[in-house]
């Protein structure tokens, strides 16, 4: 990576989502993390981060949403993505810091990173998966895990997911990979099928 000072803003736009802010691609230093439900606090931590140093660029990476359920819920989730991207860009513009919005990150990408480091596949079931990803942070990044705990010491998965999105982005050197395209069938395979 180059020597530019880059601020990474990672967003999990889900209903219980979160925003994580990292200091540069090369350092993996978490500046802060907050739940999107605390909208004012999210803006506050971003403003504070923007004011902390002279940044060359802000990298914005947002998880690709997979809306399901009722149409109104799908619309609400899509609007949530747009709203937070708008907020982040607006604050960057006000601060005079250029930004780059990257391709939406498919959740399976950062989840695969977690599975590889944990050495075991995630369990089935939503609640079990949330616990699994929390255990990953607790094992490898205990200080980050502590920032995901609420007042009653309950794990806030939206914060944890946002941190994992940021860690994956940094691990990839600031490049969001897209899903590989399926290989086209060769003429030989087509010929075999005919026979």
Among 174, 176, 171, smallest CA distance to 64 is for 176
Mean pLDDT (whole number) for 116-140: 93
Residue whose C-alpha is closest to residue 92's, from 182, 158, 21: 21
pTM of the model: 0.83
Architecture of domain 6-194: 2-Layer Sandwich (3.30)
| Rounded average pLDDT over 112-122 | 94
For the segment 55-112, what is each residue's pLDDT rounded down to a tens digit?
A: 999 999 999 876 555 555 555 666 778 888 999 999 999 999 999 999 889 999 999 9
Where exactly are the structural domains of the chain?
6-194
Provide the pLDDT confidence category of residue 150 given band limits of 50, 70 and 90: confident
Handedness of CA 62, 64, 67, 72 (dihedral sign): positive
Nearest Cα to Cα of residue 166 among 12, 5, 40, 17: 12
Question: 172, 126, 125, 164: which is closest to 144 by C-alpha?
Answer: 164
């Amino acid at each position: 990576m180059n020597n530019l000072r880059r601020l990474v803003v990672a967003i999990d736009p889900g209903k219980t989502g979160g925003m994580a802010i990292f200091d540069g691609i090369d350092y993996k230093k978490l500046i802060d993390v907050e739940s999107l439900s605390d909208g004012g606090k999210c803006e506050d931590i971003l403003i504070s981060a923007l004011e902390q140093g002279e940044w060359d660029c802000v990298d914005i990476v947002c998880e690709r949403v997979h809306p399901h359920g009722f149409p109104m819920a799908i619309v609400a989730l899509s609007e949530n993505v747009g709203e937070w991207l708008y907020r982040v860009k607006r604050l960057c513009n006000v601060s005079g810091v250029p930004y780059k919005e990257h391709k939406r990150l498919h959740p399976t990408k950062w989840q695969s990173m977690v599975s590889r480091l944990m050495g075991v596949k995630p369990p089935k079931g939503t609640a079990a998966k949330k616990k699994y990803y929390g255990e990953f942070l607790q094992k490898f990044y205990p200080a980050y895990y502590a920032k995901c705990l609420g007042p009653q010491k309950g794990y806030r998965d939206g914060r944890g997911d946002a941190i994992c999105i940021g860690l994956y982005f940094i691990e990839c050197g600031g490049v969001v990979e897209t899903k590989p395209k399926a290989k086209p069938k060769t003429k030989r395979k087509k010929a075999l099928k005919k026979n």
